[in-house]
Amino acid sequence: MVAVRYETAFKLYPYEKVPAQSGAVQRHPVVIVGGGPVGLALALDLGKKGTPALVLDDHDGAGLGSKAICFAKRTLDIASRLGASASMVDKGVVWNVGKVFHGEGNLFKFDLLPESGHRNPAFINLQQPYFERFLVDEIRNAQKAGAPIEIRGRNSVTAMKQFDEYTALDIQTPDGPYHLEAEYLIACDGARSSIRDMMGLSFDGRVFEDNFLIADVKMKADFPTERWFWFEPPFKDSGQSALLHKQPDDIWRIDFQLGWDIDREKELDADRIRARVDAMLSSQAGSVPEYELHWTSIYTFQCRRMETFRHGTVLFAGDSAHQVSPFGARGANSGVQDAENLAWKLDLVLKGLAEDSLLDTYATEREFGADENILNSSRATDFMTPKSNVSKTFRNAVLDLAGRHAFARPLVNSGRLSVPCTYDGFDLFGPDTLAGPDITRPGATCPDAPVDEGYLLDHLSGAFHILNIGDGTAISVTSEGITADVINIAAPSSELSARYLGDEPCAVYLIRPDQHVVARWASFDEKAIAAALKNSIGKGAE
């Protein structure tokens, strides 16, 4: 028996019996536990590089219900590299404008002011089940093209034993148990990670003493495609804050911050929820539009992470490793960044091109990323839920001033939207001998820019690359069996110049498979590039 813990929105990988369930125990190079956004992105990335990945999930598809809706540009850029972004952007709701209210008053409006010259928008709203479905669609395409990816639905990991060289797993299926072995086990099994529990590892942090009621409602309303956020909303019983945000399929996400001492059972009563939603919608539309409750739930939020994401041959990624409050949309977005950081490193290690110790840098880099996300998310939550009288006084002073004076607006924090971290000062990066723009310094992700009829990131295909801008002389460089090919850009677009040259006439960048800048120079220097490449796969100290 495999317990069903939740309903699925889409059946994406129905259970199928495989011969391995009765034969001899098989050992796989990579077993990924969990087919959420993170496990799927990792499997797709590995498979496209030709490294076999087996995904085990105890359900057979994407869970129904209110989870992630906000996907950031970096995630879409990663999905583009993996071939899965077109359907996401197509289905998703693109938004740029947000409004912040305090009580009855409209405090101010912000515009994410999309910069020109990016393939992907700053943000889309898309229900998480669609995000997972589009990843699985692309996994199916990749499988057809020969990518060694396998997903086994209704395969629940029930026990594990870790040895030096591998991990042995007990798996339960509708046809009974079987065993398999993993050279590397990647736990992408979510915030309640059973792998983490089985290994007795702690997951410490802060619980925010607050309950958020989330109602996804289906209605045909002509509210604009904007993010509306209220502090101390004026409509009846709406709590400390409220949010209204549009999703595809005429679904709107509504959030109410209810406080700590509530009767959850009572608050989930459909009539009570409808009364709140009625009050909110009628205050905006004048009357209550026709709508149906699509999904409702109450969440409490926490910010916490594992002390380290690597435990020998077991690595943790996504919510299993770190959890943040959703204000700022840093959960799935950062988890997909974990996946892409891990994918190329695992691939090189399994192909014998890098030492196992390269995987240590997965942990250090992504722990740093998690800390940055937790910091941002905690600060947003502290602003929204002041913990003392004085913090409430300052919070309300900020809101009061923000309506009248522009200077206070940047202090208003209803979630700082997810952006990737820059690995400043980390071992695998450098040198930086170009007086170039800050945004493209070593450690940063490459911003997109127009190139010919397309975009720069389309050329950064998941291998190492040398980006040669305005310098005629570059050739590909090989170090330690890894070759970085050259992308020549003789006549850079104005956006590309602004982002990669600044005031410099030409520049040479070395870029990692995850589109982070390794190092940059004012001109091509084969020896220097070879050394930076060697260092970037963890062989620098030899």
Partner 1 sequence: MTLILEPNIPDPDGFYDELLCAHEELTDDESEAFNARLILTLCNHIGDREILRAALEAAK
Ligand X SMILES: Cc1cc2nc3c(=O)[nH]c(=O)nc-3n(C[C@H](O)[C@H](O)[C@H](O)COP(=O)(O)OP(=O)(O)OC[C@H]3O[C@@H](n4cnc5c(N)ncnc54)[C@H](O)[C@@H]3O)c2cc1C
User: Is 216 a residue that touches ligand X (CB under 6 A)?
Assistant: no
Identify which of residues 297 and 396 has a Cβ nearer to partner 1 in the complex.
Answer: 396
User: Closest approach of Cβ 399 to partner 1, in Å?
Assistant: 10
Which of 30, 31, 188, 474 touches ligand X (CB under 6 A)? Answer: 188
User: Is 167 a residue that touches ligand X (CB under 6 A)?
Assistant: no
**For residue 358, what are the CA distances in angstroms to 39, 305, 342, 350, 352?**
20, 21, 10, 11, 11
User: Is 190 a residue that touches ligand X (CB under 6 A)?
Assistant: yes
Q: Which stretch binds partner 1 (CB under 8 A): 90-98, 220-228, 396-404, 493-501?
A: 396-404
User: Is 472 a residue that touches partner 1 (CB under 8 A)?
Assistant: no
Which amino acid, residue 46?
Answer: L
How many Cα atoms are found within 13 Å in the side-chain-facing hemisphere of 202? 3
Q: Which stretch binds partner 1 (CB under 8 A): 193-201, 317-325, 399-407, 518-526?
A: 399-407
User: Is 186 a residue that touches ligand X (CB under 6 A)?
Assistant: no
List the x/- string, 108-147, binding to ligand X by CB under 6 A: --------------------x-------------------
The DSSP letter of residue 516 is B
Which of 159, 397, 435, 491 touches partner 1 (CB under 8 A)? Answer: 397
Identify which of residues 37 and 437 has a Cβ nearer to ligand X in the complex.
Answer: 37
Q: Which residues pair with 214 in a beta bridge?
A: 255, 297
User: Closest approach of Cβ 419 to partner 1, in Å?
Assistant: 21
Residue 215 in tokens: 């109602």
The answer to whether the peptide bond before residue 386 is cis (omega within 30 degrees of 0) is no
User: Is 388 a residue that touches partner 1 (CB under 8 A)?
Assistant: no
Which amino acid, residue 479?
Answer: S
List the x/- string, 57-96, binding to ligand X by CB under 6 A: xxx------xxxxx--------------------------
Per partner kind, with CB cut-offs from 5 to 8 A, the member of ligand X, partner 1, none near residue 318 is ligand X
d(CA 127, CA 120): 18
Identify which of residues 187 and 506 has a Cβ nearer to ligand X in the complex.
Answer: 187
d(CA 161, CA 302): 29
Q: Which stretch binds partner 1 (CB under 8 A): 338-346, 357-365, 373-381, 389-397?
A: 389-397
d(CA 362, CA 39): 15
Q: Which of 84, 88, 45 is nearest to 70 (CA)?
A: 88
Pairing of strands 149-152, 53-56: parallel
Which residues have C-beta within 8 Å of that of residue 26, sequence separation ≥ 6? 20, 180, 181
User: Is 396 a residue that touches partner 1 (CB under 8 A)?
Assistant: yes
d(CA 218, CA 201): 41
The 3-state secondary structure of 426-455 reads: CCCCCCECCCCCHHHCCCCECCCCEECCEE
User: Is 353 a residue that touches partner 1 (CB under 8 A)?
Assistant: no
User: Is 398 a residue that touches partner 1 (CB under 8 A)?
Assistant: yes
Identify which of residues 124 and 510 has a Cβ nearer to ligand X in the complex.
Answer: 124
Identify which of residues 18 and 401 has a Cβ nearer to partner 1 in the complex.
Answer: 401
User: Closest approach of Cβ 388 to partner 1, in Å?
Assistant: 12
User: Is 407 a residue that touches partner 1 (CB under 8 A)?
Assistant: yes
Identify which of residues 26 and 414 has a Cβ nearer to partner 1 in the complex.
Answer: 414
Which residues have C-beta within 8 Å of that of residue 203, sequence separation ≥ 6? 193, 196, 304, 305, 306, 323
Which of 408, 486, 528, 531 touches partner 1 (CB under 8 A)? Answer: 408
User: Is 156 a residue that touches ligand X (CB under 6 A)?
Assistant: yes
Which of 298, 411, 463, 531 touches partner 1 (CB under 8 A)? Answer: 411
Per partner kind, with CB cut-offs from 5 to 8 A, the member of partner 1, ligand X, none near residue 35 is ligand X
Per partner kind, with CB cut-offs from 5 to 8 A, the member of ligand X, partner 1, none near residue 530 is none
Say how many residues touch partner 1, by CB under 8 A. 11
Q: Which of 329, 261, 322, 265 is nearest to 297 (CA)?
A: 265
Which residues have C-beta within 8 Å of that of residue 241, sequence separation ≥ 6? 229, 230, 231, 232, 233, 255, 256, 257, 384, 414
Q: Where are the beta strands (DSSP E) in 221-290?
A: 226-231, 241-247, 251-259
Which of 15, 108, 223, 394 touches partner 1 (CB under 8 A)? Answer: 394
User: Is 382 a residue that touches partner 1 (CB under 8 A)?
Assistant: no
User: Closest approach of Cβ 150 to ligand X, in Å?
Assistant: 14
d(CA 354, CA 347): 9
User: Is 405 a residue that touches partner 1 (CB under 8 A)?
Assistant: yes
Segment 300 to 319, residues that bind ligand X, using CB under 6 A? 318-319
Helices (H) and strands (E) in the chain, counts: 13, 28
Handedness of CA 218, 219, 220, 226 (dihedral sign): negative
Say how many residues touch ligand X, by CB under 6 A. 33
Q: Which residues pair with 445 in a beta bridge?
A: 516
Binding site for ligand X (CB under 6 A): 33-39, 56-59, 66-70, 128, 156-157, 188-190, 194, 214, 299, 318-319, 326, 329, 331-333, 335
Binding site for partner 1 (CB under 8 A): 393-394, 396-398, 400-401, 405, 407-408, 411
